[in-house]
């Protein structure tokens, strides 16, 4: 595992079409780094570029080029890189390797479940509020479906949970009937998001709803929570 402090960043530039014995060069390099215990590596694919042959390579809508630039990056100690560089030069062939000094400010942490006890889920009981948001399936927010953006925003704001329902028949302010047809779904079916949480948390979230929902209906009603439980996650079971 890398520790905070001085390190080096290695960048390896290849062509996505380059291969040896039927295996792509970048896959061979990645396998080598993995099995030699490198802390982590990332493969990036370019959309345009040229290399030593000075030929321009780019993607287009009809065909994806197999000669696009590939970049592999990893950060390791200088001692580790010294051990690997000879074999890397062999694997890269006509590609290029760049080594730069860098500083690890925060090392990555393992995502394995921790052995300590997991905190219990927040429990709610008694009186609460239900917010329901009625929108169209084709409504958008910053280049993504509005209902998806709302779910992501609710999760980011720690709301207890949300369920998205897709209507099969209905109409809204424009008085147009929206319905599913056999073998083909309407592109603007009714979508309902339903979320239950405390009145305080829903009120805090309302300004964001007002900003995101340009056309739709938002209602809040009283509910009483009888039971609120969750199934243990994989991390909980492994703790």
37-91, pLDDT tens digit by residue? 888 888 887 766 555 555 554 444 434 445 567 889 999 999 999 999 999 999 8
Q: How confident is the model at residue 26 (pLDDT cuts 50, 70, 90)?
A: confident
How many Å apart are CA 239 and CA 117, to the nearest integer? 6
Rounded distance between C-alpha atoms, residue 3 and residue 5, angstroms: 6
Q: Is the model more confident about 45 or about 146?
A: 146
Same domain, 152 and 216: yes
Residue 115 lies in a domain: no
Integer angstrom CA distances of residue 187 from 80, 138, 182: 54, 6, 13
Residues 6+ apart with CB under 8 A from 98: 10, 11, 12, 13
Q: Are residues 18 and 83 in the same domain?
A: yes
Do 97 and 147 sit in the same domain of this protein?
Answer: no
Last residue of a domain, one of 104, 134, 155: 104
Residue with the larger pLDDT of the pair 102 and 107: 102
Tokens describing residue 15: 């062509």
Q: Has residue 189 been placed in a domain? A: yes
CB 159 within 8 A of CB 205: yes
Looking at the structure, tell me whether residues 98 and 178 fall in a common domain.
no
The distance from CA 9 to its chain's CA centroid, rounded to whole angstroms, is: 24
Q: State whether 141 and 92 are in the same domain.
A: no
Strand segments, DSSP code E, in 137-187 are: 140-141, 144-145, 162-166, 169-171, 177-179
| pLDDT tens string 198-209 | 889 999 999 999
Of 22-26, 78-82, 114-118, 188-192, the one with minimum mean pLDDT is 114-118
**For 21, phi and psi rounded to 5 degrees?**
55, 40
Say if residue 183's pLDDT is above 70: no
How many domains is the chain built from? 2
Tell me: do 156 and 85 sit in the same domain: no
Asked if residue 111 belongs to a domain, the reply is no
Task: For the beta carbon of residue 89, count every other beta carbon within 10 angstroms.
Answer: 12
For position 29, which CATH number holds?
Answer: 3.30.70.120
- Does residue 85 sit within a domain? yes
pLDDT at site 136: 86
Q: Which of the listed residues 104, 136, 170 is the one where a domain comes to its end?
A: 104
Q: Does the pLDDT at position 176 exceed 70?
A: no
Range of the domain at 199: 126-234
The yes-or-no verdict on residue 124 having pLDDT over 80 is no
Residue 71 and residue 131 share a domain: no
Are 61 and 20 in the same domain? yes
With respect to residue 185, please indicate whether it lies within any of the assigned structural domains: yes
Residues 143, 180 within the same domain: yes
Q: Are residues 27 and 85 in the same domain?
A: yes
Both tokens assigned to 27: 């896959």
**What is the per-residue pLDDT for 171?**
62
Q: Do residues 15 and 95 lie in contact, with contact meaning Cβ atoms separated by under 8 Å?
A: yes
């Amino acid at each position: 595992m890398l520790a905070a402090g001085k390190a080096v960043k290695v960048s390896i530039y290849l062509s996505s079409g380059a291969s040896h014995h039927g295996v792509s060069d970048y896959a061979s390099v990645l396998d080598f780094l993995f099995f030699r215990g490198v802390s982590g590596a990332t493969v990036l694919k370019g959309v345009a570029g040229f290399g030593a042959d000075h030929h321009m390579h780019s993607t287009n809508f009809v065909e994806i080029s197999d000669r696009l630039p590939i970049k592999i990056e990893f950060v390791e100690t200088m001692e580790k890189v010294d051990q690997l560089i000879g074999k890397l030069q062999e694997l890269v062939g006509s590609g290029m390797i760049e080594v730069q000094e860098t500083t690890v400010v925060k090392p990555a942490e393992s995502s394995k479940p921790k052995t300590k006890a997991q905190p219990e889920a927040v429990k709610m009981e008694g009186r609460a509020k239900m917010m329901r948001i009625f929108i169209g399936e084709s409504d958008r927010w910053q280049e993504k479906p509005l209902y998806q953006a709302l779910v992501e925003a609710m999760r980011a704001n720690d709301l207890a949970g949300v369920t998205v329902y897709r209507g099969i028949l209905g109409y809204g302010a424009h008085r147009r009937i929206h319905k599913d047809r056999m073998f083909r779904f309407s592109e603007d079916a009714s979508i309902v998001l339903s979320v239950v949480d405390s009145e305080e948390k829903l009120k805090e979230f309302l300004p964001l709803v007002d900003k995101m929902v340009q056309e739709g209906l938002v209602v809040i009603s009283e509910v009483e929570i009888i039971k609120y439980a969750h199934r243990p996650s994989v991390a909980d079971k492994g703790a």
